[in-house]
Structure 1
Amino acid sequence: MLRDRTDTRAELWRTASTQCGYFTAAQARDAGYSYQAQRYHVQHGNWTPVDRAIYRFREFADLPAQGDEHLVRWSLWSKGRAVVSHATALAAHGLGPATPSQIHMTVPRNFRQQSDALILHRAELAEEDLDERRGYRVTTPLRTLVEIAAEGEDQGGLDAAVTAALDRGLVTQRRLLSAAQKLGARAELGVERALSAAS
């Protein structure tokens, strides 16, 4: 049975609107667009190609930027397996500066894709370590802070982030110490120093 074109577009639009206007070729196919129709919409400027088999509705480019739209693209690139983490998650939670040139994501250990635009960390994350955002997932403030502590590279930045997270009620000292102990001695030391600086 043939689908009405407006129904097909409406179905894809519903999917894309939960992903900041982004969608994959597979999602377009599921909505009823053949690969030939997909090429047509790209060639006529209705869809903006973003990456291999990832597009965005042209209309979304005209909306004011929210600052994290680009993270949706990388979630789609990974087929939903990559989670925004480390310094990028810190920025997403408003606990650190945004550094768009360095996007940190955590992927499962068996993840094989690579991109020069990403810094990939490998770990198996529990559901309790994840927050859902519009079109992507990000590590919780608690998980993010202990990951930063485990890296041991920027104690000053960690101190400021821990102080801000405590002030905003995003974490407690007890939960922070407990989570750091699970990640190891370096994470525990970094968190202890940050908590001392916060008191």
Structure 2
Amino acid sequence: MLRDRTDTRAALWQIASGQRGYFTAAQALAVGYSYQAQRYHATHGNWTVVDRAIYRFREFESLPAGENDHLVRWFLWSKRRAVVSHTTALSVHDLGTANPSRIHLTVPPGFRQKDEAVILHRAEITDDEIEVRDGYRVTTPVRAIIEAAAAQVDQDVVDSAVADALARGLATRRRLLHGAQLFGARAELGIDRALRETH
């Protein structure tokens, strides 16, 4: 039985609305849009082509953009496997002075895709170190700070992120130190320095 067109659109809209208007070709196919129908909607401007097999409903283009809408696109690009991390995660959490020029994503070790716009880090991240946002995932404030310290970003960035996290109750000294110990010597050194700067 063929689905009614309005039902098909409503099903896709429901998926996309939780992803800031973005959706994948696979998601569209799953609700009933053939690849031929997808080409039609992209060609006629109903859907904006964002990347290979990633679209966005045109209506979302005219809505006020969320500061982190673009991160949904990269989550879908990674086939929902990436976690926003490092200084990009600090920026999402509004911690310190981090303002990365490229997007940092942590992906599983076997991940093979590449793109010039992103810096990929390979690691397994446990669920308790991840926060789910509207259409993407991001490392927790504690994990993001420790990742940044381990990556040896500017110490000022780590210092300011630690100060903000402590002031806002998003982290404790103990959790930061313990997490840094698990991450290794570089992380420990960066976190230790930052904690000495905050009294």
Question: TM-score with structure 1 length normalisation?
Answer: 0.97
C-alpha distance in 2 between matches for 1:97 and 1:189: 19
Give the aligned residue type for 1:94.
D
Name which of structure 1's ranges 113-122 and 88-97 shifts more when overlaid on structure 2: 88-97
Aligned residues: 199
Superposed CA deviations along residues 115-137 of structure 1, whole A, max 9, x for unmatched, are 11100011111111100000000
C-alpha distance in 2 between matches for 1:171 and 1:179: 11
Q: Which aligned pairs between 1:18-57 and structure 2 lie closer than 5 A?
A: 18-57=18-57
Superposed CA deviations along residues 89-146 of structure 1, whole A, max 9, x for unmatched, are 0000001446463100000110011111100011111111100000000000010011
Residues 97 and 160, structure 2, Cα contact 8 Å, conserved in 1: no
Q: 1:98 to 1:14 in 2, by over 3 A?
A: farther
C-alpha distance in 2 between matches for 1:53 and 1:124: 26
Give secondary structure in 1 for the equivalent of 2:20.
coil
- Unaligned stretches of 5+ residues in structure 1: none
In structure 1, what is the equivalent of residue 4 of structure 2? 4
Q: Which aligned pairs between 1:144-163 and structure 2 lie closer than 5 A?
A: 144-163=144-163
In structure 1, what is the equivalent of residue 86 of structure 2? 86
1:151 Cα shift? 1.6
Give secondary structure in 1 for the equivalent of 2:23.
strand
Superposed CA deviations along residues 37-76 of structure 1, whole A, max 9, x for unmatched, are 1111111110000000000000000000111010000000
Question: TM-score with structure 2 length normalisation?
Answer: 0.97
Give secondary structure in 2 for the equivalent of 1:13.
helix
Give secondary structure in 2 for the equivalent of 1:195.
helix
C-alpha distance in 1 between matches for 2:181 and 2:19: 35
C-alpha distance in 2 between matches for 1:103 and 1:20: 18
Name which of structure 1's ranges 153-162 and 98-107 shifts more when overlaid on structure 2: 98-107
- Unaligned stretches of 5+ residues in structure 2: none
C-alpha distance in 2 between matches for 1:6 and 1:37: 14
Residues 87 and 96, structure 1, Cα contact 8 Å, conserved in 2: no
C-alpha distance in 1 between matches for 2:73 and 2:59: 16
Identity %, equivalent residues? 65
Residues 150 and 190, structure 1, Cα contact 8 Å, conserved in 2: yes
Give secondary structure in 2 for the equivalent of 1:153.
coil
Superposed CA deviations along residues 9-29 of structure 1, whole A, max 9, x for unmatched, are 000000000000000001001
Give secondary structure in 1 for the equivalent of 2:48.
strand
In structure 1, what is the equivalent of residue 182 of structure 2? 182
Give the aligned residue type for 1:92.
V
C-alpha distance in 1 between matches for 2:154 and 2:46: 44
Give secondary structure in 1 for the equivalent of 2:56.
strand
